[in-house]
Amino acid sequence: MKKNKTLTCEEFKNKIDMHEDFILVDVLSDKDFHKLHITGAINIPLADLEAKANQWLSRHIDIIIYSANHVCKGAEFSQEILGKMGFRAWTLDGGLEEWAKYQYPIEGDFNYKPQPILTLPTSLQPKPVVETAAAQPTPKAEEHKQEGHKPQLHKKKAA
Protein backbone atom coordinates (compact mmCIF):
# COMPACT_ATOMS: atom_id res chain seq x y z
CA MET A 1 0.00 0.00 0.00
CA LYS A 2 1.26 3.44 -0.95
CA LYS A 3 2.16 5.68 2.00
CA ASN A 4 0.18 8.90 2.18
CA LYS A 5 2.12 12.14 1.95
CA THR A 6 1.45 14.34 4.96
CA LEU A 7 2.71 17.66 6.25
CA THR A 8 2.81 18.67 9.88
CA CYS A 9 1.40 22.07 10.75
CA GLU A 10 4.96 23.34 11.28
CA GLU A 11 6.07 22.08 7.84
CA PHE A 12 3.07 23.68 6.19
CA LYS A 13 3.59 26.99 8.02
CA ASN A 14 7.17 26.92 6.74
CA LYS A 15 5.88 26.47 3.15
CA ILE A 16 3.73 29.56 3.66
CA ASP A 17 6.59 31.57 5.18
CA MET A 18 8.91 30.55 2.30
CA HIS A 19 6.24 31.67 -0.24
CA GLU A 20 6.19 28.25 -1.90
CA ASP A 21 3.53 27.51 -4.51
CA PHE A 22 0.58 25.38 -3.41
CA ILE A 23 -3.19 25.32 -3.41
CA LEU A 24 -4.82 24.85 -0.01
CA VAL A 25 -8.11 22.93 -0.17
CA ASP A 26 -10.67 22.56 2.61
CA VAL A 27 -12.78 19.46 1.82
CA LEU A 28 -15.37 20.01 4.55
CA SER A 29 -18.95 21.10 3.82
CA ASP A 30 -19.78 24.62 2.62
CA LYS A 31 -21.39 25.30 6.01
CA ASP A 32 -18.26 24.23 7.91
CA PHE A 33 -16.01 26.23 5.59
CA HIS A 34 -18.04 29.42 6.07
CA LYS A 35 -17.98 28.98 9.85
CA LEU A 36 -14.21 28.33 10.11
CA HIS A 37 -11.30 27.73 7.74
CA ILE A 38 -7.56 28.23 7.34
CA THR A 39 -6.73 31.62 5.86
CA GLY A 40 -6.16 31.33 2.10
CA ALA A 41 -8.01 28.04 1.63
CA ILE A 42 -10.52 27.32 -1.10
CA ASN A 43 -13.48 25.08 -0.38
CA ILE A 44 -14.19 22.02 -2.49
CA PRO A 45 -16.46 19.72 -0.46
CA LEU A 46 -15.38 16.08 -0.69
CA ALA A 47 -18.57 15.09 -2.54
CA ASP A 48 -17.75 17.64 -5.29
CA LEU A 49 -14.02 16.96 -5.55
CA GLU A 50 -13.96 14.73 -8.64
CA ALA A 51 -16.26 17.08 -10.54
CA LYS A 52 -14.39 20.30 -9.66
CA ALA A 53 -10.74 19.21 -9.40
CA ASN A 54 -9.88 19.64 -13.08
CA GLN A 55 -11.43 23.14 -13.14
CA TRP A 56 -10.03 24.46 -9.87
CA LEU A 57 -6.70 22.69 -9.31
CA SER A 58 -3.37 22.35 -11.12
CA ARG A 59 -1.29 19.23 -11.61
CA HIS A 60 1.85 21.40 -11.68
CA ILE A 61 1.88 22.48 -8.03
CA ASP A 62 1.26 20.78 -4.69
CA ILE A 63 -2.30 20.47 -3.43
CA ILE A 64 -2.49 20.66 0.36
CA ILE A 65 -5.73 19.16 1.65
CA TYR A 66 -7.17 19.44 5.12
CA SER A 67 -10.29 18.36 6.92
CA ALA A 68 -11.56 18.73 10.50
CA ASN A 69 -9.13 16.80 12.73
CA HIS A 70 -7.27 13.50 13.30
CA VAL A 71 -10.56 11.57 13.39
CA CYS A 72 -11.85 13.05 10.14
CA LYS A 73 -11.09 10.98 7.02
CA GLY A 74 -12.00 13.65 4.45
CA ALA A 75 -8.41 14.64 3.66
CA GLU A 76 -7.33 11.01 3.26
CA PHE A 77 -10.24 10.22 0.92
CA SER A 78 -9.46 13.37 -1.05
CA GLN A 79 -5.78 12.57 -1.33
CA GLU A 80 -6.61 9.15 -2.77
CA ILE A 81 -9.08 10.61 -5.27
CA LEU A 82 -6.71 13.38 -6.39
CA GLY A 83 -3.76 10.98 -6.57
CA LYS A 84 -5.70 8.73 -8.96
CA MET A 85 -6.46 11.82 -11.05
CA GLY A 86 -2.76 12.70 -11.33
CA PHE A 87 -2.52 15.52 -8.78
CA ARG A 88 0.34 15.93 -6.27
CA ALA A 89 -1.73 15.84 -3.10
CA TRP A 90 -0.58 16.22 0.52
CA THR A 91 -2.68 16.12 3.68
CA LEU A 92 -2.28 18.45 6.64
CA ASP A 93 -1.72 16.25 9.67
CA GLY A 94 -4.41 16.96 12.27
CA GLY A 95 -6.36 19.23 9.95
CA LEU A 96 -8.07 22.43 10.98
CA GLU A 97 -8.17 21.54 14.68
CA GLU A 98 -4.40 21.01 14.89
CA TRP A 99 -3.72 24.18 12.86
CA ALA A 100 -5.88 26.20 15.26
CA LYS A 101 -4.02 24.76 18.30
CA TYR A 102 -0.85 26.40 17.01
CA GLN A 103 -2.76 29.67 16.68
CA TYR A 104 -1.87 29.91 13.00
CA PRO A 105 -4.08 32.12 10.79
CA ILE A 106 -7.70 31.03 10.60
CA GLU A 107 -10.89 32.87 9.68
CA GLY A 108 -14.25 32.51 11.37
CA ASP A 109 -15.56 31.40 14.74
CA PHE A 110 -12.56 30.08 16.70
CA ASN A 111 -14.91 28.03 18.93
CA TYR A 112 -16.67 26.29 16.03
CA LYS A 113 -16.08 22.54 15.70
CA PRO A 114 -16.63 21.26 12.14
CA GLN A 115 -18.39 17.96 11.53
CA PRO A 116 -15.76 15.24 10.84
CA ILE A 117 -16.13 13.11 7.71
CA LEU A 118 -16.06 9.47 8.77
CA THR A 119 -17.22 7.68 5.61
CA LEU A 120 -16.83 8.20 1.90
CA PRO A 121 -19.89 9.99 0.50
CA THR A 122 -22.29 7.65 -1.29
CA SER A 123 -21.73 9.49 -4.58
CA LEU A 124 -18.01 8.58 -4.46
CA GLN A 125 -18.36 4.94 -3.38
CA PRO A 126 -17.58 2.28 -5.99
CA LYS A 127 -20.67 1.15 -7.85
CA PRO A 128 -21.62 -2.54 -7.37
CA VAL A 129 -21.28 -4.76 -10.42
CA VAL A 130 -24.74 -5.63 -11.68
CA GLU A 131 -25.26 -8.68 -13.88
CA THR A 132 -27.15 -7.95 -17.05
CA ALA A 133 -30.30 -9.82 -18.03
CA ALA A 134 -28.48 -11.27 -21.07
CA ALA A 135 -26.19 -13.21 -18.76
CA GLN A 136 -29.15 -14.87 -17.02
CA PRO A 137 -30.73 -17.89 -18.78
CA THR A 138 -34.42 -17.50 -19.50
CA PRO A 139 -36.85 -19.94 -17.85
CA LYS A 140 -37.85 -21.34 -21.28
CA ALA A 141 -34.23 -21.97 -22.24
CA GLU A 142 -33.70 -23.79 -18.93
CA GLU A 143 -36.78 -25.99 -19.56
CA HIS A 144 -35.51 -26.96 -23.00
CA LYS A 145 -32.05 -27.70 -21.63
CA GLN A 146 -33.46 -29.97 -18.94
CA GLU A 147 -35.76 -31.82 -21.36
CA GLY A 148 -32.92 -32.39 -23.80
CA HIS A 149 -34.47 -30.26 -26.55
CA LYS A 150 -32.29 -28.61 -29.06
CA PRO A 151 -33.05 -25.00 -29.89
CA GLN A 152 -34.86 -24.60 -33.20
CA LEU A 153 -33.03 -22.75 -35.90
CA HIS A 154 -35.12 -20.57 -38.13
CA LYS A 155 -33.70 -20.64 -41.61
CA LYS A 156 -34.71 -18.25 -44.32
CA LYS A 157 -36.40 -20.00 -47.22
CA ALA A 158 -34.72 -19.65 -50.58
CA ALA A 159 -36.77 -17.71 -53.10
Q: Report d(CA 110, CA 153) in Å as an integer.
A: 77
Q: Report d(CA 11, CA 94) in Å as an integer.
A: 12
Q: Report d(CA 119, CA 37) in Å as an integer.
A: 21
Per residue in 121-138, pLDDT (tens digit) is 877 777 676 666 555 555
The CATH number covering residue 12 comes to 3.40.250.10
Question: Is residue 102 a part of any domain in this protein?
Answer: yes
* Single pTM value for the model: 0.76
Question: Is residue 149 a part of any domain in this protein?
Answer: no
Per residue in 53-79, pLDDT (tens digit) is 999 999 999 999 999 999 999 999 999
Give the chain's domain count. Answer: 1
- Supply the range of the domain harboring residue 101: 6-124
96 and 114 in contact (C-beta within 8 Å)?
yes
